[in-house]
Amino acid sequence: MELTLDNCEILPWVNENISYSNKDNVYNNVYLHTGTIVTGQWQNSICFCYINDKLKVISNSNSYISIGARKWHSNYNNIYKIYDNLINNYKDILSVDLSTIIDLDNDKYISLLNPFNFSNSGHDLSIVLDNVHYIYNNNIKNILIYKNYKDTNNFKLLNLLLPDDYCFIELDENKIYNIKNLIILPQKIMYINGHQYLIDKLITIIKNKYYNSDLCDKNIVLIKSNRNKNVMLKATQVHCEEMLKTLENNGYLILIPEEMNIFDLCIYLLYAKKIVFSTGSIVYTNHLFFNKNGKLIFINRSENEKPIGRIDSTFKSLTYKNNPLSKEECDNFAEQIINY
């Protein structure tokens, strides 16, 4: 059966990702949200299938495709699954009782599924801004989202930006939906290009709605919850832990964005006196809330390294030479941070 995309608006970033292969046992009538899918890299993705010329969404499939990949991802073994799961889902949809399929066929629907599957780090706000921009400019009213992800930071930020007349359609797990007019947006990560009007609007709303003087005028150090991935805390860096303890003893707050209320985090950053950060996801989009009048200290791996994102303010760079950092370097960093 020849498959068509007549009822689905496919934007330039979304395309056919798989063709049938006896070798890899992958089916050609499966379409993926492919904005960032790269062979050999891991990504949580939603599976879109065409059966009888109708688009189906397998809710919460947690599917992944990588040619030749046959193992669990070591860091996310409770979340990400190899593409065997995609094939299983494909077989499930073939055998499903068609009378149980949920039809959504009135208006256009936009899929905001992927941005809410990740953790609460700074990666995905760029996706939220891209999607809201599209919703504004195309008068979209119906938004698809998993109800399990309504507690994520991205969802909370999204709620602040969307107009009052939007409607969330909460998808249940392991159910199949037939959507006649589905808009699939790309999954862009890390970088935010444009959308300054949305950023300004978001900051204004947060300041007006969530301002708390108890969270203002603080010296802050941003670290990740998975510390062994943080530039400041490679391997078994006891010295870095000692440096953080020294900073804490001097009144610095050690903040883990993934574990915080998003609005508290924003207020901390918007009104911070000093912010210490490193490269990586800790700064990707959190930097949008950095106080432009505060002091910024960037701990980096080389003198030429720049923080990812649009850091408009002047920042002080601290470059380390050893990995793990030596005690002397950590002591020196702590002293420079405190005295800056």
From the list 201, 55, 59, the residue with the least C-alpha distance to 132 is: 201
Q: Which residues contact 286 (CB under 8 A, 6 or more apart)?
A: 122, 222, 257, 265, 269, 277
Q: Are 93 and 51 in contact (CB under 8 A)?
A: yes
Instruction: Give the pLDDT band of residue 21 (cuts 50, 70, 90).
Output: very low
Residues 172, 237, single domain; the answer is no
Name which residue leads in pLDDT, 98 or 53.
98
> What is the share, in percent, of the chain residues with pLDDT greater than 90?
16
- Enclosing domain of residue 97: 25-190
- Residue 77's pLDDT is 36
Report the C-alpha gap between 86 and 101 in whole angstroms: 18
- Model pLDDT for residues 147-195, shown as the tens digit of each residue: 666 777 777 888 888 878 888 888 766 566 766 666 665 555 455 667 8
Residues 151, 216, single domain; the answer is no
Count other Cβ atoms within 10 Å, centred on residue 224.
22
- Model pLDDT for residues 195-218, shown as the tens digit of each residue: 888 889 999 999 999 999 999 999
Q: Is 302 within the bounds of a domain?
A: yes
Query: Beta 109-111 vs 182-184: how paired, if at all?
Result: parallel
Ranking 1-5, 321-325, 330-334 by mean pLDDT, the lowest is: 1-5
pTM: 0.70
Q: Are 178 and 54 in contact (CB under 8 A)?
A: yes
Q: Is 10 within the bounds of a domain?
A: no
Ranking 47-56, 127-136, 320-329 by mean pLDDT, the lowest is: 47-56
Q: Is 204 within the bounds of a domain?
A: no
Q: Is 126 within the bounds of a domain?
A: yes
Q: Give me the chain's average pLDDT, please.
A: 65
Residues 63, 170, single domain; the answer is yes
